[in-house]
Amino acid sequence: MNDNHNWVLHTHEVIRESERLLAHLRDAETGQRGFLLTLNNRYLDPYNNGITQSDSTLAILEKLTQDNMEQQTRLGHIQALMRGKISELEKTIQLAQQDRMAEAMEIVNSDHGKIVMDTIRELMREFISAEEKLLKQRNELYLENKHNLIFLFYIEAIVLVVLILISCLFIQKAIVRPLIVISEYITKEGNTLVGTGVKIKSRHDEIGTLVEAFNTLHRDLKEQTNKKNELISELQDAVNEIRTLEGIIPICSYCKEIRDDKGSWSQLETYISQHSHAQFSHSICDNCLEKHFPEHSGGSIEDTKK
245-302 pLDDT, tens digit each: 666 778 887 777 878 777 788 887 777 777 676 777 777 777 777 777 777 666 554 5
Q: How many domains does the chain have?
A: 2
Q: Are residues 264 and 136 in the same domain?
A: no
Does 283 map to a domain? yes
- Residue 285, pLDDT score: 77
- Note the pLDDT tens digit of each residue in 2-45: 888 898 899 999 999 999 999 999 999 999 999 999 999 998 99
Does 173 map to a domain? no
Q: Which domain holds residue 275?
A: 258-305
Q: Are 46 and 27 in contact (CB under 8 A)?
A: yes
Does 112 map to a domain? yes
Q: Are 135 and 15 in contact (CB under 8 A)?
A: yes
Q: Are residues 133 and 262 in the same domain?
A: no
Does 165 map to a domain? no
Pairing of strands 265-266, 258-259: antiparallel
The pLDDT of residue 49 is above 70 = yes
Does 188 map to a domain? no
- Note the pLDDT tens digit of each residue in 146-187: 898 899 999 999 999 999 999 988 888 777 777 777 777 666
Model confidence pTM above 0.75? no
**What is the DSSP secondary-structure string of 65-87?**
TTT-HHHHHHHHHHHHHHHHHHH
Does 244 map to a domain? no
Domain boundary among 96, 124, 141: 141
Does 196 map to a domain? no
Measured distance CA(32)–CA(26) in Å, rounded: 10
Give percent of the chain with pLDDT exceeding 90: 40
Domain boundary among 123, 141, 159: 141
Does 51 map to a domain? yes
- Note the pLDDT tens digit of each residue in 97-154: 999 999 989 998 888 888 999 999 999 999 999 999 998 988 888 888 889 889 999 9
- Within a 10 A sphere around the Cβ of 213, how many other Cβ atoms? 10
